[in-house]
Amino acid sequence: MIEMENVVKNFKSRERNPGILSSVSSLFFPKYRIHKAVDEVSFQIGEGELVGYIGQNGAGKSTTIKLLTGILTPDSGKIFVGGLNPSRERKKNAYQIGAVFGQRTQLWWDLPVIESFLLIRSIYKISDSMYKENLEHFIEILDMKDILKTPARKLSLGQRMKADLAASLLHNPKVLFLDEPTIGLDILVKEKVREFIKFINQKNKVTILLTTHDVGDIEALASRILLLDSGRIQFDGEIDSFHSILGDGHNLNELEKKDLSMVIKALYRQKAKS
């Protein structure tokens, strides 16, 4: 369902030294620094898989998601999502994917939630029967009945996340990209969101790539882990294999939720031994 083969994405930034002379010189003789956000990344994710994609800030996770959604174009390598090239067939790709970014919303800020849903229905040309069935289902599972007439700007973070999840799935996408879906949520809402993600994955066989710093999300949802560090895949395997790398009886939940440095160090120690 998802395939990346030797994908590279670089970003170029101008180097500037302090001082007026250096600033003037850079105008005529600019120097650039190349940052490899994604460096020869390759992996495949099958239909219905729920994969945790983890790594520290700046590792290249969000860049990967933007490549898979077609927002960015790779400098080299091949990408296919559901048989489509995301950057070349962006519109077609949009109809088969859903995306939720924890710190951004796809809801219209001043409109009631239900109005945003109706606009999404129109954009994706969702049939009446599909829209009604999905909406009723999501309202029940996510307990959203009381927020449908509330403008998005008045929603709490947890309420907005529930609405964003529903909005991303109204058109029955084959693939769902989740970027920090539980960030900032209290424990009860977090559990509700996790239950919903698991339900959608198992019932509708939606392929899910979950990017998160919250290792609790990984433990609760993912059966496979991709670990990215400095733009490269450092681990790709089942979660049980990942536990064995940590060693000493540790599991992911025992690590600090927003610091994966212990995991990466343990991985490198394991590689050094082998």
pLDDT digits (tens, 9 = 90+) for 104-143: 888 999 999 999 999 999 999 999 999 999 999 999 988 8
Residues 217-271 have pLDDT tens digits of 888 888 898 988 888 998 888 877 776 665 544 445 444 443 556 666 666 666 5
Alpha carbon separation from 202 to 29, 48, 89, 198, 219 (Å, rounded)? 56, 7, 28, 6, 16
Say if CB 102 and CB 181 are below 8 A apart. Answer: yes
Nearest CA to 2 out of 208, 147, 193, 196 is that of 208
The widest CA-to-CA distance across the chain, in whole angstroms, is 67
Per-residue pLDDT, averaged over 42-63, amounts to 89
- For residue 273, the model assigns a pLDDT of 61
Residue at 161: amino acid letter: M
User: If you write DSSP's letter for every residue of 218-243 in order, what string do you get?
Assistant: HHHH-SEEEEEETTEEEEEEEHHHHH
Provide the mean pLDDT of the chain. 85
The mean pLDDT value for 38-51 works out to 94
Map out the domains of the chain with their CATH numbers.
2-19+31-273 (3.40.50.300)
d(CA 238, CA 51): 9
pLDDT of 78 over the 90 cut = yes
Strand order in the sheet with 31-45: 31-45, 2-15, 76-81
Instruction: Please state the rounded mean pLDDT for residues 36-60.
Output: 90
Q: DSSP character for 150? A: S
* pLDDT for residue 160 is more than 80: yes
Between the ranges 49-58, 120-129, 181-190, 235-244, where is the mean pLDDT highest? 120-129
pLDDT-based confidence at 89, cuts 50/70/90?
very high
Would the pLDDT of 187 be above 90?
Answer: no
The pLDDT assigned to 255 comes to 46
Name the percent of the chain lying above pLDDT 90: 49
- pLDDT score for 35: 84
Tell me how far apart the alpha carbons of residues 251 and 244 are, in angstroms, rounded to a whole number.
Answer: 9
- Identify the three-state secondary structure at position 213: coil
CA distance 109 to 267: 43
What mean pLDDT is predicted for residues 146-154?
94
Average pLDDT over residues 174-186: 87
Percent of the chain residues past pLDDT 70, beyond the cut: 82
Q: Which residues contact 4 (CB under 8 A, 6 or more apart)?
A: 41, 42, 43, 44, 64, 67, 68, 77, 78, 79
Cα dihedral: 12, 13, 14, 17 (round 10): -140
Predicted TM-score (pTM) of the model is 0.83
Distance CA 114, CA 164 (A): 12
Please give the DSSP secondary-structure letter assigned to residue 174: S
